Chains A and B, each alone.
Chain A
Amino acid sequence: MKLNRLLYLTFAVGIISSIVLTYFYLLQRDFTKNHREFLISISNLENSQSDLNYLILENSLYAYQDQDKISQSIQDLQDKYTKIEASAILKDKNYLSIRKNLELFKERLTKNFENIEEFQMLNAGIKNSLVFLTRHVESSVALSEEKNIFIQANQILKHLNDAVKMQDLDYINNLNVTLTSDSPNQQMQDFINTFNAHAMYLVKRYPAFVTMTYKVTHSDIYLLMKKIREEFSLLALNDFKALDIFALIIFSVFLSSLLAISILFAKYLKENKKLQETTKSLEYSLTYDMLTGLYNRKMLEEDLSKSDFPHILVIDINGFKDINDVYGNEVGNALLQDLAQFLKSELLHQADFKIYRLGGDEFAILFEDIDKKVAFNIALSLEQKIMKHIFLIGKLELNITVSIASNCISPMLENADMALKIIKKEQNKRVLAYKESLNFKKSVQENMETLEQIKVAIQTDCIIPFFQPIVNLQSAKIEKYEALVRLKLPNGSYLPPIKFLDTAKKSSYYYDITKIMIEKTIKVAEQFPQYRFSINVSMLDILDDEITSSLLSSLKNNLRVSSRIDIELLEAEHLNDLEKVKEFVQELHKYGSKILIDDFGSGYSNFSYFSDLPIDIVKIDGSIVNEITTNDRKLHMLKSIHQFSKGMDMQSVAEFVETREIALLLRDIGVRYGQGYYFSKPLQMPLVSDEVII
């Protein structure tokens, strides 16, 4: 069961058991109270009955007595009975038999009260006569004459009194209670008559009186009360037993919920401990690298954010992937651990630094407020030491080299990474300090801007061809124009191709630009029938069917000018499909176009083109031309290319003709065409006049 659910369950059990406990407490309290009250009421009733009995007995003995006491006692008994009848406990149907017995009891009680009334009547009459007789005997003057009668009367009176006192009829049974005298004394006869009348009256009443006294004082009320009490106790015992069982159950529930709470608590403690451990390891993993025990990248980022003058060395193992591939990850991991130890031991004497593993095979060392040069020297020394160190992994001896970037310029990690990339790319050094100038990020930004400029330029018709004249050095006449692309900026200035063409080449706009250049150049060529025009196309462009078909269809659609449109081919580094170029060139030849090789003598200039491609003209690279007057080797190169061209029946064009001196030398050498600032910058429109002065 889940801890949560168990918790709720325990909570619920706790609440329920508290409620039940309270209920039980109230129940047993009420029951005990009612039970006690009933027993007390019964006791009170018994006491009252005893009191009444006592009073009746007293009344039966005494000649006369204040009978208020009896009526009060009866009233008291009735009140107490009423109270019992109203006992709360009798409302319970378990005590139905008690109620029935009580009803029976009430009947007996009422009957007893009636008997008491009867007793009182008998008693009053008897006592009346007894009291009267006593006085009668005592005060009779007539008796002084007859002592016999007096004694007899006294004896009878004594028996009558004893019979009452002893409640025993034997005192008067067989007793002649009548007096007789033959005295002629009328007073005596009157005395005897009265005496006899009362004596007879008493004897006649005595049996009923004794019976009634006995009845009243020995009524079965006591038995009935005893029975009720016993039956009640028996019933109550069952209830008490039930309460006991109930209490036992509640106590068990209570105990088990206590137990559950204890278990929960123990469980909670255990879970808590586990949680603490997890938290600890989580915290550790947030700060430390699990493999090497060094700090991790997150920690470095944190430390960097706190540091005022950070300097970072980022170390990358060269070819770590190969080590992993060849020896397996285990060895790779062991190597990383060893390197971590090595770094620690090497830097032991340094102050204020931390070592991190950034992930993979990258480590970093963060110095605080350290001189750039000192840091760089540490990097150099580390690189050397690692290179010379033999890492022993099992029986395997490994030599590794590392690249280390040193950086103290924000953003720290990014710049260090960039420096590392440069190291990997250039491969001529293994330690590099980052400088602003290394930042390509800027050009990326610029690229984005340039792309935007290109996009806008295409949309607003700001891709403009400029035209630089190509002069026949021998005739001093302009024969051709090279169309050079320019991007007109909104501020009216023009961007040269070097500023945007490379960017354009990496985008789909390049195609648009080429297309625009072809169309616009063809239009200008229509206006200037006296000149030929050349358009720059990279050999890579030719591999692009879209560009070639576009160019060919433009030529096809403008047959009047297509024979005057030449193509300047720019060499490309990896030209795989020379055959395709060849086909294209042959297509162009059909329209009368001529093919130029651009910038020959620089880059990857390859003579093989000339054997495979039907080249018409060679353009000698400016880096050769502009030094022919000062550098003999360049002059020799120029002459050689010129000779080669002549031999191959190709014409040559010298670029970058920037001085009259160069122009004259070229003419003397016999180079046919010249192009450069000496003659003219690229122009927005070709010149109407073809005359130039050399």
Chain B
Amino acid sequence: MLKYLTPLLIITIVYASEPISPIPLERGVHIKKALLGKELFFDTMLSKDSSTACVSCHDVSSGGADARVVSEGFEGKKGNIQAPTVFNAKYNFKQFWNGRANNLLEQADGPINNPAEHNMNPKSIEERLNASAKYKQKFQEVYGTSKIEYQQALEAIVEFENALTTPNSRFDKFLRNELQLTSQEQEGYTIFKQLGCITCHNGVNIGANSFQKMGTFIEYNSNTSYPDRAEITKNSEHKNVFKVPTLRNITLTAPYFHDGSVKTLKEAVQVMSKYNLGQQISEEEADKIVLFLETLKGEKPFVMDMF
């Protein structure tokens, strides 16, 4: 009976077409501008005490995120949340954990002015950049203007970030029918869907296209004060609601979650299962899911090999 019923049950649930799409291969990036942005991204000149660069917390040589639980910025001040990856950030529907920035340009402005991060202001940045012969020449080449403006610097950084995509992951290739996943990886993906992970982790970034609650089933540490969605909507229901993080290159972006509380991917999968399914999943299932997640590791962004 079960044998007859099972297919019936599966039919009753309507599945959509594959809910994950590969990272587009076309670059569409202004290379010169991106390289200028890269230079700025690595330049500590953009922080008040010349201690901090963008790259300080977004390790683009690895996963584009911070290996520390919270980042340290100006005069060693600590951040209030785990730094998310800058890779593929262009595909995020909003920026920051709580989505307070609508796009990268808005986002880039944040850390630079944050007293705990770069602790700078547009005017000082313009002064510093304009005092530099190197930047004067490079900005001249890109923008054709002799005076460097703050907005131009932000745009260059954003262009660099636009170039920070990691295409051609094994999973993307699988989606494009370029290769077969191993049976275990395939199984992991299936479990990923069957357990409902896919309901939030979908789209090109496998996440980062909606706000969801951490702990739909079991309340996640409620007495913390991370900058969550409630801070924006002023709705207490939105406690622990965050932008769903991307799962691309997830193997490179430990520690996990907004609080950086989990060091390994397997543990992260188990934690998610506990709080959002109310159930402990099996070691075997967790391992398979991790195998699937590993296929999401993409190529190093091409811009990293350019100077």
Chain A residues at the B interface, C-beta cutoff of 8 Å: 58, 61-68, 70-71, 74-75, 114, 117, 120-121, 123-125, 127-132, 134-135, 137-138, 143-144, 147, 150, 154, 157-158, 161, 165, 194, 197-198, 201
Contact = CB atoms under 8 A, between A and B. Distances in A.
Interface in B189-234: 193-200, 202-205, 209-213, 216-217, 233
Contacts of B21: 66, 68
A134 B217 contact: no
B241 A121 contact: yes
Nearest to A140: B2
B212 to A, nearest CB: 5
Contact of A114 (B20, B91, B233): B233
A67 B246 CA distance: 13
B94 to A, nearest CB: 8
Given A117-B210, A124-B210, A64 B203 contact: no
21 contacts: A63-B14, A63-B15, A66-B16, A66-B20, A66-B21, A67-B209, A68-B93, A68-B205, A117-B211, A120-B212, A121-B211, A121-B213, A121-B241, A123-B199, A124-B199, A124-B216, A128-B199, A128-B200, A132-B195, A158-B12, A197-B278
A120 B210 CA distance: 7
B2 A143 contact: yes
B6 interface: yes
A64 B19 contact: yes
B133 interface: no
Contacts of B20: 66
Contacts of A63: 13-16, 199
Contacts of B204: 68
Interface in B1-43: 1-2, 5-6, 9-10, 12-16, 19-21
A197 B15 CA distance: 24
B279 interface: yes
A134 B198 contact: no
A68 B209 contact: yes
B132 to A, nearest CB: 36
Interface string B150-172: 00000000000000000000000
A67 B210 contact: yes
Given A157-B9, A194-B278, A65 B213 contact: no
A194 B203 contact: no
A66 B202 contact: yes
B114 interface: no
A128 B196 CA distance: 4
A64 B212 contact: no
Given A65-B19, A124-B212, A134 B199 contact: no
A249 to B, nearest CB: 50
Contacts of B93: 68, 71, 74-75
Interface string B263-304: 000000000000011110000000000000000000000000
A86 to B, nearest CB: 18
A122 to B, nearest CB: 10
A134 B191 CA distance: 12
A165 B14 CA distance: 9
B202 A64 contact: yes
Given A120-B210, A124-B212, A68 B13 contact: no
Contact of A132 (B2, B6, B196): B196
Contacts of A161: 12-13
Contacts of B19: 64-67
Given A67-B203, A128-B277, A132-B277, A197 B210 contact: no
B193 A64 contact: yes
Interface residues of B, number: 41
Contacts of A157: 9
Interface in B33-82: none
Contact of A70 (B6, B197, B205, B209): B209
Nearest to A139: B194
Contact of B196 (A114, A120, A127): A127
Nearest to A205: B216
Contacts, number: 123
A165 B91 CA distance: 30
Contact of B194 (A66, A135, A143): A135
Contacts of A67: 19, 202-203, 209-210
A134 B194 contact: yes
A402 to B, nearest CB: 107
Nearest to B203: A68
Nearest to A144: B2
A398 B196 CA distance: 145
Contacts of B199: 63-64, 123-124, 127-128, 131
A64 B279 contact: no
A64 B193 CA distance: 9
A131 B193 contact: yes
Contacts of A130: 13, 196
Contacts of A58: 16
B80 to A, nearest CB: 22
A58 B198 CA distance: 16
Contact of B202 (A65, A74, A129): A65
A58 to B, nearest CB: 8
Contacts of B198: 64, 131
B15 A62 contact: yes
Nearest to A131: B196
**Which of A66, A123, A157 gathers the greatest number of chain B CB atoms within 10 Å?**
A66
Interface in B221-260: 233, 241
A134 B210 CA distance: 24
Q: Which 8 A-B pairs have the closest CB atoms?
A: A128-B196, A68-B203, A71-B93, A131-B196, A135-B194, A62-B16, A127-B199, A67-B209
B91 to A, nearest CB: 8
Contacts of B16: 58, 62-66
B279 A194 contact: yes
Contacts of A129: 196, 277
Nearest to A66: B19
Given A70-B209, A117-B210, A121-B241, A62 B2 contact: no
Contact of A121 (B6, B197, B212, B278): B212
A147 B1 contact: yes
B232 to A, nearest CB: 10
A653 to B, nearest CB: 134
A78 to B, nearest CB: 9
A117 B93 CA distance: 12
Nearest to A128: B196
A201 B203 contact: no
Contacts of A71: 93, 203, 209-210
Given A64-B199, A68-B91, A194-B279, 20 more contacts: A62-B14, A63-B199, A64-B193, A65-B202, A67-B203, A68-B93, A68-B209, A71-B209, A120-B211, A120-B212, A127-B196, A132-B195, A134-B13, A135-B195, A138-B9, A144-B2, A150-B1, A154-B9, A158-B12, A201-B217
A134 B5 CA distance: 12
B9 to A, nearest CB: 6
Contacts of A62: 14-16
A35 B12 CA distance: 49
Nearest to B202: A66
Contacts of B241: 121
Nearest to B18: A66
A208 to B, nearest CB: 11
Contacts of B196: 64, 127-132
A132 B279 CA distance: 10
A75 B200 CA distance: 19
B283 to A, nearest CB: 16
A154 B5 contact: yes
Contacts of A125: 213, 216
A204 to B, nearest CB: 11
A132 B194 contact: yes
